[in-house]
Structure 1
Amino acid sequence: MNSSVRKVIIGVLAPLLPLCLAACGTAPPGAAGPAAAAGPSAAGSPSAAPRSAAPAGPSAPPVMAPGPGGLTPVFARGSAKGGKTVALTFDADMTADQGARAAGGEHFDNPALIGTLRRLKVDATVFMTGRWAEEYPDQARSIGADPRFEIANHSYSHHAFTGDCYGLPRLDADQAAGDVRRAFDAFKAAGARNVVPYFRFPGGCYDDEALRALAPAKVTAVQWDVVSGDAFATDADAVAQQVLDGVKPGSLVVMHCTRSAAPVTERAIRRIVPELRARGYRFVKVSELMAGAR
């Protein structure tokens, strides 16, 4: 999406922007997004292999070792050496102050999308906010109980960890790790299992200060190398084509699991999945993609 189109979307849909505008393009000024993560940084490059693993156990998900100075590590794509694998990820966004909108009938969930992923036998990772899990505990529990899925952390509040992040309210540095822990608590309260120690910054916005503030949460930050453009999109074929054009072996795709903000995602998936399979791709969760990068 070019910058002029993105500006129009931001101007017209400003009340909805806090949901997930990271999928519309690059990170805002002063914040590192997927493009910034692709180059050398204090946290390491996204293609770097995980350097350590979670506590011993056959089912323990892989994690990355902290970067220099203890910064939270960042993972943004797998290795092509793992063959034609691709990880589809879906942000289940809901900000802390959107309860009234949900009570008024706005749908931040997308059960049809989850149903389609199940029907097509697609493994995937759902980056869920704690507030979403509180609003839809039955769905959080169902997703977390399905071995095809894993639940990762997208913060509790969906507030930004940097300034100038698509208009999202900003968390103070001393609130960051606590907000992440609160989301994990919400998953547990909902009865969700298959929860992995991965985190996605709201808006995709981060810098070294955010990575430092997040460090006490002991998570691996997960970005992406393929932007689906599904946020606020109305053309499912355009979303599908953008994904199909961008995917390479080891790719990590960002999409959304929110009907109100990404209404065509389920239709796009119905085209993306068979076409990528026809090209020889296998769908994996982020944990498998990360393990294959070692």
Structure 2
Amino acid sequence: MIPHVRSITVVCVLGAALTACGAAGSGRPSASSSPAGPPVLAPGPGGLTPVFEHGPRTRGKTVALTFDADMTADQGPRAASGEHFDNPGLIGALRELKVPATVFMTGRWADQYPAQARDLGRDPQFEVANHSWSHYAFTADCYGLPTVDADGMRADVQRAYTSLRKAGVPKAMPYFRFPGGCYDQRALRALSGLGVTAVQWDVVSGDAFATDADAVVRQVLDGVKPGSVVVMHCTRSAAPTTEQVVRRVVPELRERGYRFVKVSELIGQAGTGR
């Protein structure tokens, strides 16, 4: 879960400082793909995990809405007591509006909601990617989240893919989103060799813990540019306004000429221009 105010600071600072860690030469990793799989960014120097923040700015008005399906490893008792970490209404709105989207799902969420994970994973309108198993932070001081030590980072990502497969997601994407968006060079090194592209964003919606849908709508509309990646949440209890936001943002962006795409399409364009 990405709190509104602080997330902007963390992402701006880390994004500026560390995106280059995944780049070689031009400062931006190039995209590659094969018949066997979706596009990914090339590793950085020494095989460092590449980081993707937004698509090209000159390839038309495209925007990717992404949704973090967060559930932390220790939140099982809260789910058992009735707290909703899912959001079927939001998914229904995306389907109704015919908006393709990328869902970054924790393995713990897939374990809790396997039928919904399977449904999303088998629907061509969506693509499901990795958001860790535990939703524990990969750096220190990340919104108070418990942390995964460096030796456990790789295993946590692999465990998430195992949970996604077990839930029935047939083709989880080779994209990974750090819990809280917090990462550093140690984390990027720990995931080297897994073949994943770390996916960040350039528009923070501010839907986490928000109760004012109007403010979230304004923040999204003010922030979107061609090629943008917007981060939102698919967690009813902690992001209760998101469905309302989507129902208002989508028509407005379409009126402005934007086309909604999945993250994979933006990554596929990444080597062809900014």
Range class of TM-score, shorter chain: over 0.9
State the distance in 2 between where 1:251 and 1:42 align.
21
**Where do residues 110-121 of structure 1 align in structure 2 (5 Å cutoff)?**
110-121=87-98
Cα distance change, pair 49–81 in 1 and its aligned pair in 2 (3 A)? farther
Is contact 1:233-1:262 (8 Å) kept?
Answer: yes
Give the total of aligned pairs.
269
Q: Name which of 38, 47, 51 aligns with 1:74.
A: 51
Partner of 1:14: none
Q: Secondary structure at the match of 1:210?
A: helix
Shift of 1:34: 4.2
1:272 paired with 2:249, answer yes
1:21 paired with 2:6, answer no
Q: Secondary structure at the match of 2:175?
A: strand
What TM-score do you get using the length of structure 1 for normalisation?
0.87
Q: Residue 172 of structure 1 aligns to which amino acid in structure 2?
A: D
1:141 paired with 2:118, answer yes
Is contact 1:86-1:250 (8 Å) kept?
Answer: yes
State the distance in 1 between where 2:151 and 2:4 align.
27
The alignment yields a C-alpha RMSD, in angstroms, of 1.8
Q: Secondary structure at the match of 2:7?
A: coil
Q: Secondary structure at the match of 1:98?
A: helix
1:37 paired with 2:18, answer no
Is contact 2:29-2:50 (8 Å) kept?
Answer: no
State the distance in 2 between where 1:245 and 1:214 align.
34
**Where do residues 273-292 of structure 1 align in structure 2 (5 Å cutoff)?**
273-292=250-269
Q: Residue 33 of structure 1 aligns to which amino acid in structure 2?
A: V
Q: Residue 225 of structure 1 aligns to which amino acid in structure 2?
A: D
Shift of 1:219: 0.7
Shift of 1:27: 6.6
Is contact 1:22-1:204 (8 Å) kept?
Answer: no
Partner of 1:8: none
Q: Secondary structure at the match of 1:62?
A: strand
Q: Secondary structure at the match of 1:215?
A: coil
Q: Name which of 228, 250, 260 aligns with 1:251.
A: 228
State the distance in 1 between where 2:142 and 2:224 align.
26
Shift of 1:123: 0.5
Shift of 1:236: 1.0
Cα distance change, pair 34–140 in 1 and its aligned pair in 2 (3 A)? farther
**Where do residues 71-110 of structure 1 align in structure 2 (5 Å cutoff)?**
71-110=48-87
Shift of 1:50: 4.5
1:263 paired with 2:244, answer no
Unaligned runs of 5+ in 1: 1-19
State the distance in 2 between where 1:259 and 1:208 align.
33
Shift of 1:35: 4.0
Partner of 1:170: 147
Is contact 2:31-2:268 (8 Å) kept?
Answer: no
String of CA shifts for 1:266-288, please: whole Å, max 9, x gaps.
Answer: 00000000000000000000000
State the distance in 1 between where 2:31 and 2:20 align.
19
Is contact 1:50-1:291 (8 Å) kept?
Answer: no
Cα distance change, pair 151–266 in 1 and its aligned pair in 2 (3 A)? same
**Where do residues 118-133 of structure 1 align in structure 2 (5 Å cutoff)?**
118-133=95-110
Partner of 2:210: 233
Is contact 2:29-2:43 (8 Å) kept?
Answer: no
Cα distance change, pair 232–124 in 1 and its aligned pair in 2 (3 A)? same
Shift of 1:66: 1.0
Q: Residue 166 of structure 2 aligns to which amino acid in structure 1?
A: A
Is contact 1:42-1:68 (8 Å) kept?
Answer: yes
Q: Secondary structure at the match of 1:89?
A: strand
Partner of 1:186: 163
State the distance in 2 between where 1:27 and 1:209 align.
22
Q: Residue 185 of structure 1 aligns to which amino acid in structure 2?
A: T
Q: Secondary structure at the match of 2:55?
A: coil
Q: Secondary structure at the match of 2:42?
A: coil
Cα distance change, pair 198–48 in 1 and its aligned pair in 2 (3 A)? farther
State the distance in 1 between where 2:141 and 2:230 align.
24
Q: Secondary structure at the match of 1:185?
A: helix
Is contact 1:50-1:63 (8 Å) kept?
Answer: no
